[in-house]
């Protein structure tokens, strides 16, 4: 840095966070950085902030080096100063984004302090864009004040403080919670004209990738709570929503704004920006007559075969891919060399756990046969059961998922819920009963690949129990395998797991739960699935081998999926 260069000495020109020209370098006489007051804009000690995705964030660092190369060990006081200054700086940028105008909104950050946390919160009712580090409170996890604002000890803590604590207590890994008064968030809570829906669902937007573990074509579900006269009165509802939606990292407040959190302040901010983007998109889409909760009929990257000329009219779910994961010639020699396929029982594994769709059975069977069966046979099924009272429960599900005006027919409710892939207990019950009738009457036969039965027989002969784990209910699983294209396979299966009995398939704890229920170590189980997220979760849980199932019509693998051993037939698991 050249002290004679005027441009470099001008804030904002020629240098970035932390790379201060000597004239601005906030070193104290003992060589430490003074990151406060007028220096608050240049609090990054490195030339840029650390990015999300590793644990080594700016806030987790206790040792830093300045742009001039001086190595500095950060004291807790300096860490506190830096967090205060960071909150002030973030509040200013949130104000500029329209998220913290009129003094509302804000952010809290907490940092580890011995075995406890130090929680930093802004004061209430001040211009958020004018805060300085000196205005910030420092609290412990019992909400005792450790340090009042240096600038004015009589300030009040932000009215959001009880809500920051709800998140910190219910989400132990969260270290930052942001509250926005973004207009996009407010409009998004009004997409349901009855204003009674308990969540908002959005799918098929690229920016969903910025929210938790969502893929482009996943469904993002954000709970909605009703507003209250004062911010602190939202705490109980916020806690209930966070508990009811264990996977959520955000909650909307109707006609008010959004709460969003993350395991670092950078992750929190990225998620808030991504959510705000998709909320804005949802509002626009609704105005264009597009329902943001309904997958597009075409144009998704899962629909990647270009040999059809009917893309515009054919729903994506009706596409059958011809190759394996989009590979026309199934040459797996490289996979087999790179990834050793586990053999049971030869390699010491004690149980086999199988996914259904894309593994034991084709995705097309579920998408093209089972679900259409419900739509096609609904009226006939209902006519034969005039006394069954499905409507109230279905209406309630539709209403709680933003259905607007009350729907008066079962058919409308079913269409609404199925179009949006809403996991509704009432719908599942109705579908289950319809499938049962279909299987009983011989109209339905559960598809299984040709290798399924010989593999099951091999495993039974070699004393390896085989279990099924699917998001479809245990009842639906038993119907499929009990009435399969290869006859009744239930005697060859040792048991079944679904979401109620084991938890979500993308959660690593679910695989531990299954292992515990089987009286096994996770390392003794082989799990096969075509879903990358599930394999990643299983591996995280310590499953002995997580194996990628490659079947015609499965979605293309990314680099993540290619990191798992791949099989093209379940018979590849049978050891010699």
Which of 7, 77, 206, 380 is flagged as catalytic?
Answer: 206
Choose one: 60-68, 155-163, 344-352, 528-536; the region binding ligand L4RZE5RM (CB under 6 A).
155-163
- Of 156 and 247, which CB lies nearer to ligand L4RZE5RM in the complex structure? 156
> Is 160 flagged in the annotation as binding?
yes
Instruction: Count Cβ atoms within 10 A of the Cβ of residue 336 and give its class: 0-12 exposed, 13-18 middle, 19 or more buried.
Output: middle
Stretch near Zn ion under the rule CB under 5 A, chosen from 96-104, 127-135, 269-277, 489-497: 96-104
How far is residue 314 from each of residues 298, 299, 310, 319, 441, measured CA to CA in Å? 7, 11, 6, 8, 30
| Span near Zn ion by CB under 5 A; candidates 101-109, 307-315, 414-422, 423-431 | 101-109
Long-range contacts of 380-385 (CB under 8 A, 24+ apart): 381/433, 381/434, 381/437, 382/410, 382/411
574 is in an annotated binding site: no
CB of 257 to Zn ion, least distance (A): 5
Q: Give the number of other CB atoms < 10 A from CB of residue 227.
A: 16
User: Nearer Cβ to ligand L4RZE5RM, position 11 or 125?
Assistant: 125
Nearer to ligand L4RZE5RM, 231 or 507 (CB): 231
Report helix, strand or coil for 337: helix
Q: Which does 403 bind (CB under 5 to 8 A by kind): ligand L4RZE5RM, Zn ion, none?
A: none
129 closest CA partner among 100, 165, 158: 100
Site string for ligand L4RZE5RM, 118-147 (x = CB under 6 A): ----x-xx----------------------
206 is catalytic: yes
Per-residue b or e along 366-397, where b marks 16 or more CB atoms closer than 10 Å to that residue's CB? bbbbbbebbeebbeebbeeeeeeebbebbbeb
As a whole number of angstroms, the distance between CA 428 and CA 394 comes to 10
Known binder of ligand: residue 179? yes
Confirm or reject binding of residue 103 to ligand L4RZE5RM (CB under 6 A): yes
In angstroms, give the least distance from the CB of 256 to ligand L4RZE5RM. 6
Identity of the residue, 104 or 503, whose beta carbon is nearer to Zn ion in the bound complex? 104
Would you give the binding string for ligand L4RZE5RM spanning residues 211-250, x where CB under 6 A is met?
--------------------x-------------------
Q: Give the binding range for ligand L4RZE5RM (CB under 6 A) out of 158-166, 268-276, 309-317, 345-353.
A: 158-166
Token pair recorded at residue 201: 């669902």
Do 136 and 226 contact (CB within 8 A), yes or no? no
Number of residues counted as binding ligand L4RZE5RM (CB under 6 A): 13
Q: Under the criterion CB under 6 A, does residue 106 sit at the interface with ligand L4RZE5RM?
A: yes
Residue 388, token pair as written in the block: 């069954």
Q: Is 181 annotated as a binding residue?
A: yes
Using CA atoms, how far residue 424 sits from 346, 365, 418, 429, 479, in Å, is 42, 21, 9, 9, 19
Q: Which of 18, 21, 104, 503 binds Zn ion (CB under 5 A)?
A: 104
Among 102, 386, 461, 519, binds ligand L4RZE5RM (CB under 6 A): 102
- Residue sitting closest to Zn ion (CB): 104
User: What's the CA gap between 134 and 276, in Å, rounded?
Assistant: 29
Closer residue to ligand L4RZE5RM, CB minimum distance, 102 or 172: 102
Q: Read out DSSP for 293-317?
A: TS--SS--TT----S-S-TTTS-GG
- Bridging pattern class, strands 145-147 and 176-180: unpaired
105 touching ligand L4RZE5RM, by CB under 6 A: yes
Task: Please write down the long-range contacts of 22-27, taking CB distance under 8 Å and 24 or more positions apart.
Answer: 22/68, 25/66, 25/67, 25/68, 27/66, 27/70
Does 189 contact ligand L4RZE5RM by CB under 6 A?
no
Where on the chain is the footprint of ligand L4RZE5RM (CB under 6 A)? 102-106, 122, 124-125, 158-160, 179, 231
Binding-site residues, in ranges, read 160, 179, 181, 256
Q: Which residues are annotated as a binding site for substrate?
A: 160
Tell me the binding residues for Zn(2+): 179, 181, 256
Indicate which residues carry an active-site annotation.
206
Per CB under 5 A, residues contacting Zn ion are 104
């Amino acid at each position: 840095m050249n002290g004679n260069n005027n441009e470099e000495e001008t804030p904002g020109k020629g240098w970035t966070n932390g790379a201060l020209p000597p004239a601005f370098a906030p070193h104290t006489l003992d060589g430490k950085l003074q990151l406060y007051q007028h220096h608050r804009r240049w609090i990054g000690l490195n030339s840029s902030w650390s990015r999300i995705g590793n644990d080594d964030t700016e806030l987790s660092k206790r040792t830093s080096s300045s742009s001039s190369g001086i190595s500095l060990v950060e004291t807790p006081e300096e860490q506190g100063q830096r967090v205060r200054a960071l909150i002030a700086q973030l509040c200013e940028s949130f104000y500029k984004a329209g998220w913290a105008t009129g003094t509302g909104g804000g952010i809290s950050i907490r940092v580890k302090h011995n075995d406890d946390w130090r929680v930093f919160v802004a004061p209430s009712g001040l211009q958020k864009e004018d805060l300085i580090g000196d205005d910030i409170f420092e609290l412990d996890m019992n909400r005792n004040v450790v340090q009042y604002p240096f600038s004015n000890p009589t300030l009040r803590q932000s009215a959001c403080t009880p809500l920051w604590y709800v998140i910190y207590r219910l989400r132990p890994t969260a270290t930052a919670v942001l509250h926005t008064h973004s207009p996009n968030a407010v409009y998004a809570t009004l997409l349901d004209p009855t204003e009674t829906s308990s969540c908002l669902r959005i799918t098929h937007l690229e920016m969903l990738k910025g929210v938790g573990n969502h893929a482009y074509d996943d469904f993002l579900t954000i709970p909605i709570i009703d507003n209250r006269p004062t911010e602190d009165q939202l705490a109980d509802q916020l806690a209930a929503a966070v508990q009811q939606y264990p996977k959520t990292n955000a909650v909307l407040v109707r006609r008010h704004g959004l709460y969003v959190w993350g395991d670092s302040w950078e992750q929190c901010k990225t998620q808030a920006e991504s959510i705000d983007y998709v909320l804005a998109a949802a509002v626009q889409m609704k105005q264009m007559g597009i329902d943001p909760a309904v997958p597009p009929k075409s144009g998704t990257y899962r629909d990647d075969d270009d040999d059809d000329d009917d893309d515009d009219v054919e729903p994506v779910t009706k596409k059958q891919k011809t190759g394996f994961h989009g590979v026309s010639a199934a040459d797996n020699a490289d996979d087999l060399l790179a990834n050793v396929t586990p053999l049971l029982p030869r390699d010491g594994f004690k149980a086999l756990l199988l996914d259904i769709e894309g593994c034991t059975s084709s995705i097309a069977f579920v998408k093209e046969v089972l679900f259409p069966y419900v739509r096609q046979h609904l009226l006939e099924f209902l006519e034969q059961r005039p006394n069954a009272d499905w409507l109230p429960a279905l209406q309630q599900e539709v209403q709680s998922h933003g259905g607007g005006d009350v729907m008066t027919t079962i058919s409308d409710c079913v269409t609404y819920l199925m179009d949006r892939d809403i996991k509704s207990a009432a719908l599942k019950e109705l579908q289950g009963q319809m499938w049962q009738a279909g299987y009983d009457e011989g109209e339905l036969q559960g598809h299984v690949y040709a290798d399924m039965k010989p593999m099951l027989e091999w495993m039974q002969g070699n004393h390896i129990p085989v279990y099924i784990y699917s998001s479809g209910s245990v009842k639906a699983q038993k119907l499929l395998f009990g009435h399969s294209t290869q006859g009744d396979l239930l005697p060859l299966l040792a048991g079944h797991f679904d979401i109620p009995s084991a938890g979500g398939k993308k959660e690593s704890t679910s695989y531990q739960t299954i292992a515990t229920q089987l009286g096994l170590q996770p390392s003794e189980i082989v799990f096969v699935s075509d879903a990358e997220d599930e394999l990643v979760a299983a591996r995280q849980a310590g499953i002995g081998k997580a194996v990628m199932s490659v079947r015609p019509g499965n979605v293309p693998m990314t680099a993540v999926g290619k990191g798992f051993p791949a099989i093209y037939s379940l018979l590849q698991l049978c050891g010699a």
